Amino acid sequence: MYMFRNLCTGVSRITVRFGTRSMSISSSRSVDQLLSGRNDDHGGVIVEMSTEPVDAVVFGSLLRASILHWRQEGKKGVWIKVPIELVNLVEPAVKVSVFALLQSSCFGMLFHASLQEGFYFHHAEPKYLMLVYWIPETPSTIPVNATHRVGIGGFVMNEKKEVLVVQEKSGILRGTGVWKFPTGVVEEGEDICDAAVREVKEETGIDTKFVEILAFRQSHKSFFEKSDLFFVCLLQPLSFNIQPQESEIEAAQWMPFEEYTAQQFVQKNEVLKYVSDVCLSKREGKYSGFSPVPTTGSFSTTESYLYLNRHCLNSP
């Protein structure tokens, strides 16, 4: 079907059928009866539904007509962002099937194509669901969904070589007496270096300056099918009076590094043992991790951090 568009420019009429009904839309008059979307940079269309109520049957009809229109335009991926208020539109989008009768004016022949599959889920956040549809008959190049959650741990050492540790009120270490580094999750759109400073401040009240990433771990199936990237960050303390976060932290303190490392919990955990070795090596000035360099211009004008071993670079 996709090729006919290029062969026959005189397509004059599209018949849209849904259920037992059918309606005829002249392609020149149909524009105001279509869903409005904006183009993306990859030959696709993005439709963002407002939260105004829409009837599911009306929507299904609009969607069929719109797909035929976008097909004619040579569009590839179609994205529909459905707010949770319009959850009634999810089923008609997934079940949409477009039967198109295209009458070619160049040959006077009738071509018939049936598209069996409707929209797929692409990703979801609490208040919306993103649906996607691939128009061409060529393999889909729809990008994959986000696959990783990102966490940080903050290694903060003061001038007395004491490390900042906490005991948590919930989670698997609750009530175990284990002292651990402050840890947390990187929020949407947050830089790793900012997340580390924020989490340490939230959990302990200590202000810090980000220094570098000492190591990171990638693990799988940490949360349903999703993976996890956990960055161990070195931070320099800028304040020293601890104020534990009431909701999450049972206790917090500056603890001699050796005492932290000597905990059974650390000694028996291969990852934590490695991280301790790294911190020890760092304390002795022998280790260099990755530090953030602000950059612009990698396919966009927004600033992003490049993390690299700056100690080894000739020109920092």
Token pair of 294, please?
């602000």
- Min dist CB 123 to a copy of itself, Å, is 5
CB of 223 to a copy of itself, least distance (A): 6
Q: How far is the CB of 156 from a copy of itself (least distance, A)?
A: 19
In the complex with a copy of itself, the residue whose CB is nearer, 30 or 184, is 184
Q: Pairing state of beta strands 110-115 and 98-103? A: antiparallel
User: Active site residue: 48, 202, 248, 250, which one?
Assistant: 202
Residue closer to a copy of itself (CB basis): 113 or 266: 266
- For the chain, state the CA radius of gyration: 28
Structure tokens at 129: 């669901």
Give the type of residue at 51: T
Nearest to 1 by CA among 75, 65, 93: 75
Q: What are phi and psi of 80, to 5 degrees?
A: -125, 120
Tell me the DSSP string of 31-82.
Answer: GGGS---EE-TTS-EEEE--SS---HHHHHHHHHHHHHHHHHTT--EEEEEE
Nearest to 199 by CA among 216, 211, 215, 186: 186
Our CA angle for 28, 32, 36, nearest 5°, is 115
Q: Kindly tell me which of 22 and 143 has the beta carbon lying closer to a copy of itself.
A: 143
Q: DSSP string covering 222-291, please?
A: EETTEEEEEEEEEEEES-------TTTEEEEEEEEHHHHHHSHHHHT-HHHHHHHHHHHHHHTT----BE
Is 90 or 101 the residue whose CB approaches a copy of itself more closely?
Answer: 90
The least CB distance from residue 179 to a copy of itself, in Å, is: 16
CB of 203 to a copy of itself, least distance (A): 15
Distance of closest approach, residue 138 Cβ to a copy of itself, in angstroms? 10
Here the tokens at position 234 are: 């070195």
Q: Of 99 and 265, which CB lies nearer to a copy of itself in the complex structure?
A: 265
Contact 213, 307 (CB under 8 A): yes
- Does residue 259 have an active-site annotation? no
Closest CA to 26 of 103, 117, 119, 93: 103
Smaller CB separation from a copy of itself, 68 or 96: 96
Residues involved in catalysis: 202
